[in-house]
Amino acid sequence: MSTQIETLLKSNLTTTVVHNNIPVVEIDKVNVYSKGHHILKNVSTIIPKNKITVLLGPSGCGKTTLLKCLNRLTDLYPDLKVSGSIRIDGDNIFDAHKDITAIRQKMGLLLQRPYPLPMSIYDNIAYGLKLKGIRNKKIISAKVEKHLKEVALWDEVKDRLKTSAQRLSIGQQQRLCLARGLAVEPEIILADEPSSALDPISSRVIEEEFIKLKSGYTIILVTHILRQAKRLADNVIFMYYGEIIESGPAQQVFENPQSEILKEYLRVGH
């Protein structure tokens, strides 16, 4: 334990320890406004390393917005005004001097439905590697195979790596998007209701992947499906109308809810 604290101090990280885990993401007083609406209200929380943290809450409560703040995709939306600070490995991502592409490569992203790049299956995965400056074809091929195997897609596509990724089924596309994200070796996986467009079998595959991946990655999963949250979560952040109502280890949040609104949400099971 003492050596752990020592390394923490050396690496200049904040030494807040939550559930005995090192925080990778520290969100501090984040406010988001859109056209006068207050979408995120003074949100502060910490997301621990190598756990699945589930952002839970009804539709429109700000879960997705919070997720998009983490890799500054909020930059794309002209109406969103973001303030506060988000530290990832101690670096404030809103710092204007930071290289945003490098920050984003620390995070893989899975969206509600898959968006394969308009190129072949192989190139979808090679794309991120080439952005990282990897030119050696052998290394690229090896990584393509490794990550396709990681998401259990290799056997289905190994004979047609050069065909367009857009011809895959939607479940395969979502797994390809996961593999594509993993190929750039992120620390964090951001997933925004990744199984909402998938059939039950494909979504089960994605869920199983998450459980396998959590030893090496920090996973932040947005969902409004209570059962999915219960299956996967180590840590839960429950949001309602732009505020964090409750957060903590999954067991504590699900079995001993404090607020009326969370009790209601758990009762309705929706």
The residues that touch other proteins, with contacts defined as CB under 8 A, are 68, 71, 73, 75-76, 78, 101-102, 104-105, 107-109, 111-113, 115, 117-119, 127-128, 131-132, 177, 180-181, 184, 190
CB nearer other proteins, residue 147 or residue 240: 147
**Gyration radius from the chain CA atoms:** 19
Comparing CA positions, the residue from 49, 50, 45, 89 lying closest to residue 67 is: 45
Question: What is the nearest approach in angstroms of other proteins to the Cβ of residue 52?
Answer: 19
Please give the order of strands across the beta sheet that includes 52-56.
107-110, 188-192, 218-223, 52-56, 235-240, 243-249
Distance CA 52, CA 178 (A): 15
- Comparing CB distances to other proteins, the nearer of 86 and 253 is 86
| Closer to other proteins by Cβ: residue 10 or 135 | 135
Q: Which is nearer to other proteins, 127 or 241 (CB)?
A: 127
Q: Least distance (Å) from other proteins to the CB of residue 78?
A: 4
The bridge status of strand 188-192 relative to strand 107-110 is parallel
What's the burial of 84, exposed, middle or buried (CB within 10 Å: 0-12/13-18/19+)?
middle
In angstroms, what is the minimal distance from the CB of 118 to other proteins?
Answer: 4
Least distance CB 173 / other proteins (angstroms): 11
- Kind and range of the H or E element at 34? strand 23-34
The least distance separating other proteins from the CB of residue 101, rounded to whole angstroms, comes to: 4
Least Cβ distance, residue 117 to other proteins (angstroms): 6
For other proteins, the closer of residues 107 and 213 by Cβ is 107
In the complex with other proteins, the residue whose CB is nearer, 131 or 139, is 131
**What's the rounded Cα separation, in Å, for the pair 135 and 206?**
30
Contacts of 255 (CB under 8 A, 6+ apart): none
How many angstroms separate the CA atoms of 144 and 154, rounded?
9
Give the tokens for residue 89.
Answer: 């490995």
